[in-house]
Structure 1
């Protein structure tokens, strides 16, 4: 199924940013993040609350 049909869109991020997030997740397992997408969703949620 195409992402757009499911109500999703794809976003490209620079590789160095993804690598930094991956390193953060690996070094801070106590925060509960298990994947890069999970980390990014949480970061977006936090910032979305700031602008609304």
Structure 2
């Protein structure tokens, strides 16, 4: 069974915020790799549990 946590609107909004897409100005050459890193880290962050 595949869980598509990343496809939820909340996670999409989180990635946009982390990458800075919700901010005026900035550089898309920086935003795109940041968004990519956030997307790649999302499954790991969702599996992490506090000890």
| TM exceeding 0.5 | no
Structure with bigger RCO (C-alpha 8 Å, 6+ apart):
2
Computing the radius of gyration over CA atoms, which structure comes out larger, 1 or 2? 1
The two structures have a TM-score, normalised by structure 2, of 0.32
TM-score, normalised to structure 1's length? 0.32
